[in-house]
């Protein structure tokens, strides 16, 4: 149960933090349709986080609810991958970050459908349909940017080179994931990596974009150690609950 709780925090925090990042773009999309699309994806991710946190709070059994897990933890208590907390940057940065994450998340939810934990499987089933849309949206944009103008291609390629170092952490496994994989609660995340690479490369080939030869690695978010951007993000995310404790809409 403790391992399941920790895993749920990791994937729930991924959804919450990326949802918060995309929420920052509300009213700032390059075109009206895309502004609405990114806002809707943000809402989807925050909805996923709510479902995940609700189950995590039940497993924790300390009287906390989804809101408490979302808003009332300290920075080192968040376990999201560092990829999702990276700044929005330009439009290419936002879409490449989203694309890398969407491929991983779709594969993960597909595998979680067969989890022996029925609640985990139910969360995955509910989230998978919208995650497939997220991937369709981000992959189509990566292709359009890469195969578009000279400037859009340059920015998309730079985004890939910048964000690639954060992707390996998506497949991070410690004792939590190892034990859950042995028990049949989650898949072996290492087995997702080649499938992820295959799908990423298929889209990048269509986009005439390339991956760096040296992947590198930067990421300890799964252990609660974050980039310099995380504190500023949480200051915005948690402001209302910190100023008005126990407020409800």
pLDDT in tens, 189-239: 999 999 999 999 999 999 999 999 876 677 799 999 999 999 999 999 999
Q: Which two tokens stand for residue 47?
A: 């909805």
In the chain, what are the helix, strand and coil shares in percent, each to the nearest 5?
70, 0, 25
pLDDT in the model for residue 7 = 98
Structure confidence by residue, pLDDT tens digits, 114-124? 999 999 999 99
Predicted confidence band of residue 246 (pLDDT cuts 50, 70, 90) = confident
Show the domains of the chain with their CATH numbers.
2-243 (1.20.1260.10)
Q: 98, 115, 93: which is closest to 15 by C-alpha?
A: 98
% pLDDT > 90, the chain: 88
pLDDT in the model for residue 215 = 67
pLDDT in the model for residue 33 = 81
CA geometry: angle 26, 30, 33, nearest 5 deg: 70
pLDDT in the model for residue 1 = 80
| Sign of the CA dihedral with 180 first, then 181, 182, and 184 last | positive
Do 98 and 133 form a contact (C-beta atoms < 8 A)?
A: no
Structure confidence by residue, pLDDT tens digits, 95-107? 999 999 999 999 9
For the cut 70, the answer to whether the pLDDT of residue 29 exceeds it is yes
Q: Which long-range contacts (CB under 8 A, 24 or more apart) does 134-139 make?
A: 134/41, 134/44, 134/98, 134/102, 134/105, 134/106, 135/99, 135/102, 135/103, 135/105, 135/106, 137/37, 137/41, 137/98, 138/95, 138/98, 138/99, 138/102, 139/99, 139/102, 139/103, 139/203
Question: Structure pTM?
Answer: 0.95
Average pLDDT rounded to a whole number, residues 40-62: 96
């Amino acid at each position: 149960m403790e391992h399941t709780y920790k895993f749920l925090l990791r994937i729930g925090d991924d959804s919450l933090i990326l949802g918060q990042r995309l929420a920052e773009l509300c009213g700032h999309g390059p075109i009206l349709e895309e502004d609405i699309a990114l806002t809707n994806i943000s809402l989807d991710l925050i909805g996923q986080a709510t479902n995940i946190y609700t189950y995590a709070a039940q497993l924790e059994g300390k009287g906390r609810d989804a809101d408490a897990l979302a808003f009332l933890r300290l920075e080192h208590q968040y376990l999201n991958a560092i990829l999702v907390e990276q700044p929005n940057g330009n439009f290419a940065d936002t879409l490449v970050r989203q694309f890398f994450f969407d491929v991983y998340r779709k594969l993960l939810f597909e595998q979680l459908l067969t989890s022996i934990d029925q609640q985990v499987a139910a969360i995955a089933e509910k989230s998978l349909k919208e995650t497939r849309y997220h991937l369709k949206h981000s992959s189509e944009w990566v292709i359009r940017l890469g195969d578009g103008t000279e400037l859009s291609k340059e920015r998309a390629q730079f985004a890939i080179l910048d964000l690639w170092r954060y992707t390996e952490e998506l497949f991070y496994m410690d004792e939590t994931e190892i034990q859950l994989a042995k028990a049949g609660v989650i898949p072996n995340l290492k087995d997702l990596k080649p499938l992820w690479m295959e799908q990423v490369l298929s889209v990048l080939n269509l986009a005439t974009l390339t991956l760096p030869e040296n992947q590198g690695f930067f990421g300890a978010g799964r252990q609660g150690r974050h980039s310099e951007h995380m504190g500023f993000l949480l200051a915005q995310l948690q402001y209302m609950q910190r100023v008005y404790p126990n407020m409800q809409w």
